[in-house]
């Protein structure tokens, strides 16, 4: 598109004039003057006889003179600057043919000096400078202020809309994942590609994790989302139309996030939406067609013959209590199944609830306006059909952007509306996976029966039965936001800004289970059928006032930001249930028999408020030595009455080595070499606002003479302190060989001390667990991205680039002692997560297994002292692996030629250990009742059957519970083709005849294939999907 | 411009400083401490919650009355199918089911104590919400409940006091903040903590508790304020006196125990407010007899589903695996040997009627019909269970009197109230045997018997044993229950 083209042109310019001042964004171009260049301009050598005088004037597009513009002789550093009227005079040697005219925020112009003609009075040259397009990769947008990247000491990356789109156009967060190594979306093994599930994500690992998992609806490791300067939600960003996005910035280290204070410990994602541009009416349209196909490659289920054989070997057809009738009957049932299988029944249940999701996405943006008034109107539709039947998400959005400019003021307002309708399947995918392949889906007459088998011995429900009832699970969500901003520019240095953001959300969900659903099998008739309704309303208000000052004084460049904001978030959830419904299509609560017994309506309110003051300063000396400092005091209702306020600070320093003469003068191939380091103490506020309070709950149902009673429900800690992280970051940015090679490396070391955790306390304190500040967590990690242009030819518009990124990290907890002993004890037998001093919280704790004893099919364990034992004891648990990969990253390549572009990105993941649930629960641990479900093929082929079998899995005939041991821990290495993109853009030619200014076609695919070294089921309740998308966009 | 900047800074600073209220968010969907204790009713609601908790199954609604603590004093012969009750009966405190139940009791007790501490703190802080007299009543009650619960945890989990009063026992929690507390020596728990709280409770309640002037008031007329009625459901002044006597006796300080018991028994009002059970209403009454002898109970709990205790544990036909009954013939040949005229035998025991059943069934908690057309007051005893009854004060006085004749005198007074003949003064030994038998008869289903054995550190003799006909020797591993792992592990 237009921007991509401009960037290439820009790069070419840079080749010509490396010393040109890099661009900054529009806001700063009016603030920053070109003094450094002025001082460097030096004096003109006037001693040479051949010199002649050249006079000229530099103006902008509106013919207004620009003062302070650098005018240099081509190929030298000699030159001058324009005066207040934009005029300059320069003595030019005769051999000089060109002038280089440059100014911050403007495109650098190279002007040919007209040939000397003796006797002719040299006329005044008029040079017109045009505004430089904003180059996103050269600025850091923090949402509060914008800084030149070159002078910024924090770790942040900015991605343009075009870059995001080459990684897929379906979802901006998914695209971001491929682009940035520090940003990770955690794969949801349970819910796969469910379009109605929000992803869990983290930037640079988890900052808090302990004992909180069951407590919170909010993910305490979720980054902070900032949309056009206002705090937003994951849901809003997830549903945001990619075509509305202008840029996304990830603020990773605390030096860049400190300005957000207590909320920013998990990193910040700053999303800026497009702003209307001046000019004639412009219409842009993008349409996409998307196919998503279920990915069942991880499933390894038995076919009907295998399953029956497994059942026989596992002893399903041997009576538990022997009697002749039992034996005869079981034999008969076995033979019946055998007969069915012989007749060719081998049902592939997995395919039953699935489909190929066909999705459409349209977005339209109309912009225009002249002079003082600009407007933009947008509308979008995104219809997502999941790969399971009855799984949809339809998003309709609209937005109105208005900008009004006066001489010293600018007002802008962004209003947006998003309406989402969603629907979830009633029957989880796992139920289809559990159905045995020797059952027929439908009976002879083609109808779905409730039971696949139902007799004295076996009972199996037909998943299609529940799915075919009129049960439903659906919801509607409406989100309205209005962001208003007023700016005042009294002088070039000063800027004042007031912002007000209002967000309203309304979410309704409705669940109805038909009376015929098997869940009501043993219920009284009048209680069959259930309806649940829930409504959540959220209101968010945020106001901010800030003052910005920016000035260049000689070699000193100073930026100051002072501001404060107030915010309030309120959410209210209400809900109720009704039970007892008649047969037929009477699924609304008015048809119910009443409320459930002892069912009280839900009412949950959460209010959080905060008030903050912040200060940020950036200083650079000669563009070589850089310094940033931020301070923020935050008051929040989250914390205990005695600890409402908290101050966070950050200090960053940087050194632009490439601006040092010893590099500038001697090493021509270095374009950028910057070292930066920062330290700060961000907080983390994503905790339930009532953790600091004592709350009471009524003892319903215990009325006595005195009425109701109330007892302590939550024992809050009024002394709760903010969780404080000390975050250190060291980074290196390198650009070499005319910008063909670039590298960014960041190393971080985060110490969170104390953590905010739920500890176990002696029961005599009145409670078994308690939120408190204790323990310490140390995480360190490294992220690096590198790009290299193998070919770069701007004339031919041809380039070929390869890119790679990597992340690795390590975490350790300490000073916990045995405060989490209760949590550790409760995990025994149900998970492999333990918290001990010195260990990584992502470690897998299990008893080390020596394998299966070939002589008896029993498992042999290692005791802690290394000796063999048949007796399993949790006391022998040791670390058997770590769930975090050693290294993970993306390797990709893109090729651009004329309007044609291709890109491929592979994700690699190495050295990750997983506790293979499929092995644990579908190969072993198959209880007698689990024989009713289909299982992994390995349960038949790889289990011990007779003496001498050297196998990995226990005796096939044993239905006893197998404890979690290292036998189920496997190392996983994965390679995924995460995105494929193909695009073609028409610039001119025939499209002009159609009245279009640009036209682009694109095809992209995500998650094309995935190769893993282990076999474990992914997407338990909802399968994963591969998606393919074709799109078309044009402007006119 | 600079000026503007300063003004802005000022605005922000005042905003920050002045917005403490803005940040003070109280959740509306939950009762916060602040909201609850803002009203008089709120205080009574919190106090009611505490008494309700005491009536929960983990405390006096099961474990500390008729089940756990009575099983370990060998009152019953549980069915073999119940592994839990069998393990308990065999003093197997490491059985995981037993461990869990003990932990539940401990947790519930200390959680209730924390609730008391929060109420106590709020009584002190919120001046003016409660009238002065009522705040004294509630403070006295809460201190007494706190002492009562700690004392029972000490009696259950603490050392055999007689052997080693300095031994490490239980923590004493007197803070509304959650904190790890040290295990204190048993004698310091009793003298420095329990008795201190009880003394304060006594002085607070002496002049404020309406029970002194108006009695238990176990009824409610229309328009009456309920909060200060039903004094038997609250830890009232007289209960505190009896509890002091109980504590002193447990600590082996007979003089002080006697003093406290005398204070109660010499009070003419006590007999007036807590009259002996009326045999005329009791013995001939099959439909709604007051089997818990409610008029004699100084304090107890409200147990709405009390009749379920009978059906769930004592009814030979309905109790199933939980069925609790003494061994065959224990009740008639040992417990009430030759004294079957005892009101307690007459009203609390019934010959088992089920198929294959023999022996006696305990019907103290059997459901009773609501008297037709009568006021609610008479039905009170259908939902009432005793925590401290007046008879214990008689027994404490009897045991504590230095002169043998006086000992028999107190015992006989109580025997008379149970329809038994007066005993001749025989010997100290005979007296103790008689007294012990009184405890076994009187307190079955009320959880006091185990503490008797532990206090005396005496064997459970064959003729006192409801489980089998052996004598179970006094052993610390039988009488000292292990602290729950959740108490020890997290230190």
pLDDT at B375: 58
pLDDT of residue B84: 92
Task: Compute the Cα dihedral for A424, A428, A433, A437 and give only its sign.
Answer: negative
Kindly indicate the confidence band of residue A422, based on its pLDDT and cuts at 50, 70 and 90.
very high
CB contact under 8 A, A704 and B48: yes
- Determine the pLDDT at residue B55: 93
A62 has pLDDT over 90: no
Minimal C-alpha gap between B178 and chain A (Å): 5
Contacts of A372 (CB under 8 A, 6+ apart): A404, A405, A406
Name chain A contacts of B141, Cβ cutoff 8 Å: none
Model pLDDT for residues A458-479, shown as the tens digit of each residue: 888 888 888 888 899 999 999 9
User: Out of A496, A609, A706, whose CB is closest to B48?
Assistant: A706
In whole angstroms, how far apart are CA B463 and each of A909, B261, B265, B333, B359?
Answer: 75, 29, 31, 9, 15
- What count of CB pairs under 8 Å joins A to B? 210
CB-CB under 8 Å, A635 with B491: no
In angstroms, what separates the C-alpha of A492 from chain B's closest C-alpha? 12
Domain ranges of chain A: 2-128, 136-277
Name the most confidently modeled range: A400-404, A686-690, B50-54: B50-54
- Mean predicted confidence (pLDDT) in A775-800: 84
User: Could you tell me which CATH number the domain at A136-277 has?
Assistant: 2.170.130.10
Calculate mean pLDDT across residues A122-135: 68
| Residues sharing a CB contact under 8 Å with residue A951, sequence separation 6 or more, in sequence order | A852, A854, A942, A943, A944
> Per mean pLDDT, which range of A290-294, A521-525, B27-31, B430-434 is the poorest?
B27-31
Question: Do B335 and B426 form a contact (C-beta atoms < 8 A)?
Answer: no
**Is the confidence at residue A84, as pLDDT, over 70?**
yes
For the segment A701-735, what is each residue's pLDDT rounded down to a tens digit? 778 888 888 888 888 887 777 677 788 889 898 88
Fold of A2-128: Immunoglobulin-like (2.60.40)
B178·A766 Cβ contact <8 A: yes
Contact check, Cβ <8 Å, B110/A702: no
B429: number of Cβ within 10 Å: 8
Q: Is the pLDDT of residue A120 over 70?
A: no
User: Which of A314, A305, A319, A340 lies closest to A457 in space, CA to CA?
Assistant: A319
Do residues A255 and A616 lie in contact, with contact meaning Cβ atoms separated by under 8 Å?
A: no
Q: Which residue of A has its CA nearest to B174?
A: A765
- The reported pLDDT for the residue numbered A7 is 47
For residues A736 and A994, the model is more confident at: A736
Distance CA A256, CA A269 (A): 11
pLDDT at B246 over 60: yes
Instruction: Say which of B28, B48, B181 has its CB closest to residue A764.
Output: B181
| pLDDT tens per residue, range B254-313 | 999 999 999 999 999 999 999 998 888 888 777 888 899 999 999 999 998 898 999 999
Kindly determine whether residue B110 and residue A763, on different chains, have CB atoms separated by under 8 Å. yes
pLDDT higher than 60, residue A211: no
ipTM more than 0.90? no
Computed over every residue of chain B, the mean pLDDT equals: 88
Query: A173 near A201, Cβ under 8 Å?
Result: yes
| Per-residue pLDDT at B145 exceeds 90 | yes
Residue A815 · residue A775 · CB < 8 Å: yes
Place A8 in a pLDDT band, splitting at 50, 70 and 90.
Answer: very low
Nearest CA in chain A to B102: A763
Per-residue pLDDT for A622 more than 60? yes
Show residues of chain A in contact with B111, CB under 8 Å. Answer: 711-712, 766-767
Write the pLDDT tens digit of every residue in A389-400.
Answer: 888 989 999 999
- CA nearest to B181, candidates A773, A764, A819, A822: A764
A51-65, A899-913, B293-307: least confident range: A51-65
Q: Which residue has the higher pLDDT, A857 or B469?
A: B469
pLDDT of residue A695: 83
What six digits make up the tokens of B252? Answer: 């082996």
Annotated domain spans of chain B: 40-481
Rounded CA gap, A176 and A905, in Å?
12
In chain A, the percentage of residues whose pLDDT exceeds 90 is 7
Sorted by sequence, the CB contacts under 8 Å of residue A231 that are 6+ apart come out as A224, A225, A263, A501, A540, A542, A567
Question: Mapping DSSP to helix (H, G, I), strand (E, B) and coil, where does residue B308 land?
Answer: helix
pLDDT of residue A137: 55
A537 vs A577: CA distance, rounded Å = 18
Q: Average pLDDT for residues A921-948, to the nearest whole number?
A: 84
Contact A637 B486 (CB under 8 A): no
Which of A116-125, A693-702, A925-934, B417-426 has the least mean pLDDT? A116-125
Annotate A513-540 with b (16+ C-beta within 10 A) or e (fewer). bbbbbbebeeeeeebbbbbbbbbbbbeb
Q: Name beta bridge partners: A578.
A: A531
The upper half-sphere exposure of residue A177, i.e. CA atoms within 13 Å in the direction of its Cβ, equals: 24
- pLDDT at position B148, please? 96
Report the C-alpha gap between A294 and A292 in whole angstroms.
7
- Residue A759: its chain B contacts at CB < 8 A? 490
Arithmetic mean of pLDDT, A648-659: 86
Task: Give the model's pLDDT for residue A121.
Answer: 61
At residue A844, the pLDDT reads: 87
Chain A residue with minimal CA distance to B484?
A763
The H-assigned helical ranges of A113-248 are: 161-165, 172-179, 234-238
- CATH of region B40-481, choose from 3.40.630.10, 1.10.10.10, 1.25.40.390, 3.40.1190.20: 1.25.40.390
* C-beta atoms of A707 and B52 within 8 A: no
pLDDT of residue B479: 94
Instruction: Pick A577 or A873 by higher pLDDT.
Output: A577
What pLDDT does residue A131 have? 63
Minimum CA–CA partner of B114 in chain A: A766
Nearest Cα neighbor of A382 from A360, A356, A358 is A360
Q: Indicate the average pLDDT of chain A.
A: 80
How open is the CA angle A802-A805-A810, to the nearest 5 degrees? Answer: 165
Per residue in A810-852, pLDDT (tens digit) is 888 888 777 777 777 777 777 888 888 888 888 888 888 888 8
CB–CB contact B25 A608 (8 Å): yes
CB contact under 8 A, A545 and B8: yes
- Sheet with strand A710-715: strands edge to edge: A710-715, A694-698, B31-32
Dihedral sign computed on CA atoms, order A489, A490, A494, A497: negative
Cα–Cα distance, A673 to A669 (Å, whole number) = 11
CB contact under 8 A, B487 and A819: no
Interface probe with B: pick from A545, A547, A717, A764, most Cβ of B within 10 Å:
A764
- For residue A288, list its beta bridge partners: A361, A1031
Quickly count: other Cβ atoms within 10 Å of residue B203's Cβ: 13
Beta A224-227 vs A268-273: how paired, if at all?
parallel
How far is B54 from chain A, CA to nearest CA, in Å? 11
Residue among B4, B12, B229 minimizing CB distance to A564: B12
Å from B231 to nearest chain A CA?
Answer: 11
Tell the residue number behind the tokens 């947006």, with chain if given. A416
Please tell me the predicted confidence (pLDDT) of residue A215. Answer: 39
Using 50, 70 and 90 to split pLDDT, how confident is the model at A140? Answer: confident
- Contact (CB<8Å) B31/A821: no
**A705/B28 touch (CB, cutoff 8 Å), yes or no:** no
Q: Do B45 and A763 touch (CB under 8 A)?
A: no
Measured between beta carbons, which residues in chain B are less than 8 angstroms from residue A643? none
Does the pLDDT at position A655 exceed 50?
yes
Backbone angles phi, psi at B282, to 5 degrees: -90, -55
Is it the case that residue A42 has pLDDT exceeding 80? no
A763:B107 CB<8 A: yes
Interface test with A, best of B2, B3, B16, B305 (most A CBs within 10 A): B16
pTM beyond 0.90: the answer is no
Q: Under DSSP, is residue A818 helix (H, G, I), strand (E, B) or coil?
A: coil
Beta partners for residue A509, in sequence order: A475, A534
Once rounded to an integer, what is the mean pLDDT over residues B152-169? 94
A640 has a pLDDT exceeding 60: no
Pairing verdict, β A625-636 and A602-621: antiparallel
Of the given ranges (A78-82, A604-608, B232-236), which has the lowest mean pLDDT?
A78-82
């Amino acid at each position: 598109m237009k921007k991509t083209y401009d960037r290439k042109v820009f790069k070419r310019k840079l080749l010509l004039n490396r010393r040109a001042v890099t661009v900054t964004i529009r806001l700063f171009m009016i603030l920053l003057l070109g003094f450094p260049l002025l001082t460097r301009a030096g004096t003109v050598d006037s001693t040479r006889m051949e010199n002649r005088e050249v006079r000229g004037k530099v103006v902008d597009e509106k013919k207004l003179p620009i003062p302070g513009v650098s005018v240099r002789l081509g190929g030298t550093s000699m030159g001058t600057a324009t005066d207040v009227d934009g005029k300059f005079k320069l003595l030019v040697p005769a051999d000089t043919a060109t002038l280089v005219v440059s100014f911050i925020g403007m495109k650098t112009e190279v002007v040919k000096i007209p040939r000397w003609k003796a006797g002719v009075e040299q006329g005044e040259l008029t040079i017109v400078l045009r505004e430089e397009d904003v180059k996103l990769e050269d600025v850091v947008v923090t949402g509060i202020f914008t800084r030149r990247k070159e002078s910024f000491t924090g770790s942040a990356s900015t991605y343009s809309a075009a870059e995001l789109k080459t990684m897929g156009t379906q979802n901006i967060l998914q695209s971001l994942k491929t682009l940035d190594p520090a940003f990770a979306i955690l794969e949801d093994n349970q819910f796969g590609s469910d379009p109605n599930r929000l992803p869990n994500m983290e930037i640079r690992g988890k900052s808090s994790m302990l004992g909180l998992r069951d407590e919170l609806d909010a993910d305490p490791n979720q980054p902070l989302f900032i949309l056009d300067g206002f705090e937003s939600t994951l849901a809003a960003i997830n549903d945001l139309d990619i075509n509305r996005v202008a840029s996304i910035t990830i603020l990773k280290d605390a030096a860049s996030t400190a300005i957000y204070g207590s909320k920013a410990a998990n990193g910040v994602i700053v999303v800026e939406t497009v702003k209307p541009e001046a000019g004639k009416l412009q219409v842009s349209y993008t349409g996409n067609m998307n196919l998503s196909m279920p990915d069942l490659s991880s499933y390894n289920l038995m076919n009907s013959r295998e399953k029956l054989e497994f059942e026989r070997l596992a002893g399903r057809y041997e009576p538990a209590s022997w009697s002749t009738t039992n034996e005869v009957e079981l034999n008969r049932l076995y033979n019946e199944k055998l007969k069915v299988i012989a007749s060719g029944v081998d049902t592939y249940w997995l395919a039953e609830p699935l489909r190929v999701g066909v999705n459409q996405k349209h977005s339209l943006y109309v912009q225009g306006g002249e002079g003082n008034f600009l407007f933009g109107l947008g509308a979008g539709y995104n219809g997502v059909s999941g790969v399971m039947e009855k799984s949809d998400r339809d998003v309709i959005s609209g937005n109105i952007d208005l900008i009004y400019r006066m001489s010293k003021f600018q007002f802008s307002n962004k209003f947006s509306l998003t309406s989402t309708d969603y629907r979830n399947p009633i029957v989880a995918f796992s139920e289809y996976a559990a159905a045995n392949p020797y059952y027929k889906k439908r009976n002879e007459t083609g109808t779905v029966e409730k039971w696949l088998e139902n007799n004295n011995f076996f009972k199996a429900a037909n998943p299609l039965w529940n799915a075919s009832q009129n049960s439903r699970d659906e919801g509607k969500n409406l989100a309205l936001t209005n962001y208003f901003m007023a700016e005042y520019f009294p002088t070039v240095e000063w800027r004042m800004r007031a912002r007000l953001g209002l967000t309203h959300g309304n979410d309704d969900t409705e669940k109805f289970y038909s009376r015929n659903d098997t869940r009501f099998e043993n219920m009284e008739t009048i209680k069959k059928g259930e309806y649940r309704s829930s409504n959540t309303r959220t209101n968010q208000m945020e106001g901010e006032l800030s003052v910005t000052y920016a000035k260049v004084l000689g070699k000193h460049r100073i930026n100051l930001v002072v501001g404060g904001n107030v915010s309030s978030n309120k959410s209210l959830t209400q809900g109720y249930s009704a039970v007892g419904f008649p047969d037929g299509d009477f699924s609304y609560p008015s048809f119910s028999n009443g409320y459930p017994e002892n069912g009280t309506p839900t009412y949950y309110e959460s209010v959080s408020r905060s008030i903050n003051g912040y200060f940020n300063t950036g200083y650079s000396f000669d563009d070589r030595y850089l310094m940033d400092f931020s301070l923020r005091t935050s008051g929040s209702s989250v914390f205990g009455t005695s600890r409402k306020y908290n101050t966070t600070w950050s200090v960053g320093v940087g050194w632009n080595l490439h601006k040092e003469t010893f590099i500038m003068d001697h090493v021509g191939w270095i374009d950028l070499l910057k070292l930066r380091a920062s330290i700060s103490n961000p907080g983390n506020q994503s905790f339930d606002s009532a953790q600091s309070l004592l709350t009471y709950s009524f003892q319903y149902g215990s009325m006595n003479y005195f009425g109701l009673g109330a007892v302590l429900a939550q024992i809050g800690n009024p002394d709760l302190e903010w969780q404080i992280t000390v975050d250190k970051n060291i980074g290196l940015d390198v650009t070499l060989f005319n910008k063909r090679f670039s590298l960014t490396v960041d190393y971080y070391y985060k110490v969170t001390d104390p953590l905010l955790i739920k500890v176990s306390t002696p029961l005599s304190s009145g409670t078994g667990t308690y939120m408190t500040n204790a323990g310490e967590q140390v995480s360190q990690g490294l992220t690096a991205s590198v790009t290299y242009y193998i070919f770069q030819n701007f004339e031919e518009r041809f380039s070929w680039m390869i890119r790679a990124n990597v992340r690795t990290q390590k975490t350790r907890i300490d000073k916990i002692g045995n405060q989490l002993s209760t949590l550790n004890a409760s995990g025994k037998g149900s998970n492999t997560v333990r918290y001990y001093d010195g260990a990584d919280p992502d470690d897998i704790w299990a008893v080390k297994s020596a394998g299966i004893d070939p002589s008896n099919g029993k498992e042999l364990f290692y005791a802690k002292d290394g000796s063999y034992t048949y007796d399993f004891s949790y006391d022998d648990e040791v670390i058997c692996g770590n769930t975090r990969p050693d290294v993970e990253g993306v390797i990709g390549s893109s090729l651009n030629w004329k309007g044609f572009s291709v890109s491929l990105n592979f994700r690699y993941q190495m050295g990750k250990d997983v506790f293979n649930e499929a092995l644990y629960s579908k190969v072993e641990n198959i209880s007698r009742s689990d024989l009713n479900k289909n299982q992994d093929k390995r349960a038949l082929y790889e289990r011990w059957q007779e003496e001498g079998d050297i196998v990995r899995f226990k005796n096939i005939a044993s239905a006893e519970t197998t404890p979690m041991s290292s036998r189920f821990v496997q190392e996983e290495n994965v390679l995924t083709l995460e995105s494929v993109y193909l695009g073609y853009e028409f610039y001119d030619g025939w499209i002009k005849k159609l009245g279009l200014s640009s036209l682009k076609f694109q095809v992209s695919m995500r998650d094309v294939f995935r190769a893993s070294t282990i076999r474990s089921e992914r997407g338990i309740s909802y399968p994963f999907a591969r998606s393919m998308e074709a799109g078309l966009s044009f402007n006119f | 411009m600079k000026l503007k900047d300063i003004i802005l800074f000022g605005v922000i600073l005042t905003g920050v400083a002045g917005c403490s209220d803005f940040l003070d968010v109280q959740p509306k969907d939950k009762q916060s401490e602040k909201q609850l204790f803002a009203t008089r009713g709120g205080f009574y609601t919190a106090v009611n919650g505490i008494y309700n908790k005491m009536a929960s199954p983990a405390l006096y609604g099961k474990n500390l009355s008729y089940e756990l603590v009575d099983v370990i004093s060998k009152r019953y012969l549980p069915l073999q199918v119940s592994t839990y009750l069998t393990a308990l009966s065999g003093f197997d405190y490491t059985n995981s089911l037993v461990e869990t139940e003990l932990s539940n009791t401990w947790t519930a007790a200390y959680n209730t104590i924390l609730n008391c501490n929060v109420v106590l703190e709020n009584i002190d802080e919120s001046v003016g919400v409660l009238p002065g007299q009522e705040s004294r009543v509630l403070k006295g009650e809460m201190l007494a409940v706190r002492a009562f619960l700690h004392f029972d945890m000490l009696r259950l989990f603490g050392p055999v006091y007689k052997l080693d009063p300095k031994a490490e026992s239980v923590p004493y929690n007197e803070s509304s903040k959650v904190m790890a507390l040290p295990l204190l020596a048993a004698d310091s728990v009793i003298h420095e903590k329990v008795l201190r709280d009880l003394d304060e409770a006594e002085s607070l309640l002496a002049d404020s508790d309406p029970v002194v002037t108006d009695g238990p008031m176990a009824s409610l007329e229309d328009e009456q304020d309920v909060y200060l009625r039903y004094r038997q459901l609250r830890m009232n002044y007289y209960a505190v006196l009896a509890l002091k006597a109980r504590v002193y006796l447990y600590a082996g300080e007979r003089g002080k125990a006697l003093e406290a018991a005398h204070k109660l028994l010499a009070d003419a009002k006590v007999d007036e407010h807590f009259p002996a059970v009326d045999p005329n209403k009791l013995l001939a009454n099959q439909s709604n007899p007051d089997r818990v002898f409610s008029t004699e109970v100084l304090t107890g709990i409200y147990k709405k589903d009390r009749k379920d205790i009978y059906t769930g544990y004592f009814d030979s036909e309905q109790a199933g695996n939980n069925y609790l009954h003494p061994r065959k013939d224990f009740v008639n040949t040992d417990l009430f040997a030759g004294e079957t005229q005892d009101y307690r035998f007459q009203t609390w025991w019934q010959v088992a009627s089920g198929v294959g059943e023999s022996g006696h069934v305990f019907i103290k908690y059997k459901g009773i019909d609501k008297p037709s057309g009568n006021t609610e007051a008479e039905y009170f005893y259908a939902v009432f269970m005793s925590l401290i009854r007046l008879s214990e004060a008689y027994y404490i006085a009897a045991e504590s009197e230095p002169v043998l004749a006086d000992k028999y005198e107190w015992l006989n007074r109580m025997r008379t109230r149970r329809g038994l003949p007066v005993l001749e003064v025989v010997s100290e030994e005979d007296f103790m045997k008689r007294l012990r038998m009184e405890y076994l008869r009187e307190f079955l289903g009320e959880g006091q018997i185990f503490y008797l054995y532990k206090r005396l550190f005496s064997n459970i003799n064959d003729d006192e044993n409801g489980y089998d006909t052996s004598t179970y020797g006094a052993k610390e591993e039988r009488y000292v229950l292990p602290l729950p792992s959740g108490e020890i592990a997290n230190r």
